């Protein structure tokens, strides 16, 4: 229930001007603070912050109208593209709602980019952004016309199936208010990590991060997470910015190969295997499959149809240990020679 304030802004200003006794001013300020805490709607009307978790909501899209200007406060945790991530210093009590958000100030020269660890107050409008595909996902693809040698180039429809990322755009103010420690990262442990699960998400069901991996990723969008005891499970060429890892603690002996890597298993989609993006100043590299990487900390984000963790820190590639190779006994071939190949 909202407690109506017993004074107006005009009377409050009048008190501040000293035309009323100081005792009355203190009493009125106390009443106004009570109303501010008891009625968030009234607080927002007075220019108070909107919590990041309210903007994110328990859903894949914000429920706030895009033309509503809001202000948020929090700690700058990292950067991506032309913007930065902000996470609330104090989390809310709902694990279904993210406490972090991406801020896109655009190309305005008016704002200088804050530093990681700065506390900021940002004013802008909620938005849902869907990035344009980047390689290896292309905007167009070539198709052959059946029965002919004709090759046509058509628009790729992949982007239509992608989720957007909730962000704060149309930014009108960025105020650096101080510095603070970065929020403690959340251990990355999606549902299905240690149990069988057949689908990444179940269509037409309520949003439930405790049961659906995709909803779990969404509940952490824009927040700091840590992948404990990570190992590389898939690599790309060094020119790519991403590779895939898994926490060794999420794998048991029944679902690992002789190399200690995930082994396909009926009924398990391995939601704990997650793509990571190199840190901002990291030189491109491709860790060998099976390389132990230690604890990897970063920010959960979304890009072109997949969730990924943007790493905080540069990895010292020269210090990475060589993946251990298992002892495999030589096969008994009997007479003759056998040759195997793989493509």
Measured distance CA(264)–CA(214) in Å, rounded: 20
Where residue 234 falls among pLDDT bands split at 50, 70, 90?
confident
Mean pLDDT across the chain: 79
Rounded Cα–Cα distance for residues 249 and 255 (Å): 12
Q: Please give the DSSP secondary-structure letter assigned to residue 280.
A: T
Please choose, from the candidates 83, 77, 3, 88, the residue with its C-alpha nearest in 3D space to the C-alpha of residue 38: 3
Output the six-digit token pair for 172: 């009108």
Does the pLDDT at position 181 exceed 90?
yes
pTM: 0.75
d(CA 59, CA 173): 27
User: Which residue's entry shows tokens 């491109």?
Assistant: 284
Looking at the DSSP bridge assignments, the partners of residue 292 are 231
- How far, rounded to the nearest angstrom, does the alpha carbon of residue 218 sit from its chain's CA centroid? 7
Each residue of 90-122: pLDDT tens digit? 889 899 999 999 999 986 667 889 999 999 999
Count how many Cα atoms sit within 13 Å of the Cα of residue 124 in the half-sphere of its side chain: 28
Dump pLDDT digits (tens) for 7-38.
333 333 333 333 333 333 333 334 333 333 34
CB 289 within 8 A of CB 236: no
């Amino acid at each position: 229930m909202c407690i109506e304030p017993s004074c107006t802004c005009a009377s409050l200003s009048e008190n501040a001007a000293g035309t009323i006794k100081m005792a009355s001013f203190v009493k009125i300020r106390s009443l106004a603070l009570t109303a501010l805490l008891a009625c968030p709607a009234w607080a927002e009307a007075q220019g108070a912050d909107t919590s990041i978790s309210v903007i994110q909501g328990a859903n894949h899209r914000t429920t706030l109208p895009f033309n509503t200007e809001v202000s948020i406060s929090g700690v700058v945790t990292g950067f991506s593209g032309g913007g930065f991530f902000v996470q609330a210093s104090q989390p809310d009590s709902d694990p279904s709602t993210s406490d972090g958000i991406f801020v896109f100030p655009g190309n305005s020269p008016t704002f200088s980019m804050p530093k990681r660890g700065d506390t900021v107050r940002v004013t802008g409008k909620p938005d849902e952004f869907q990035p344009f595909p980047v390689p290896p996902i292309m905007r167009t693809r070539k198709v052959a016309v059946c029965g002919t040698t004709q090759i046509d180039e058509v628009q790729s429809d992949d982007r239509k199936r992608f989720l957007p990322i909730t962000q704060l755009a149309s930014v009108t103010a960025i105020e650096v208010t101080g510095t603070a420690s970065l929020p403690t990262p959340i251990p990355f442990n999606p549902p299905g990590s240690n149990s069988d699960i057949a689908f990444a998400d179940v269509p037409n069901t309520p949003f439930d991060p405790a049961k659906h991996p995709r909803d779990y990723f969404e509940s952490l969008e824009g927040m700091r997470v840590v992948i404990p005891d990570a190992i590389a499970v898939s690599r790309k060429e060094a020119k790519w910015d991403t590779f895939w890892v898994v926490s060794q603690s999420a794998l048991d002996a029944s679902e690992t190969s002789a190399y200690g890597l995930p082994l396909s298993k009926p009924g398990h989609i391995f939601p704990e295997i997650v793509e990571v993006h190199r840190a901002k100043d990291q030189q491109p590299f491709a860790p060998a499959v099976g390389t132990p990487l230690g604890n990897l900390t970063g920010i959960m984000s979304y890009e072109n149809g997949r969730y990924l963790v943007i790493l905080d820190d540069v990895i010292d590639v020269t210090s990475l240990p060589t993946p251990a190779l298992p002892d495999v006994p030589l096969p008994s071939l009997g007479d003759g020679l056998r040759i195997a190949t793989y493509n």
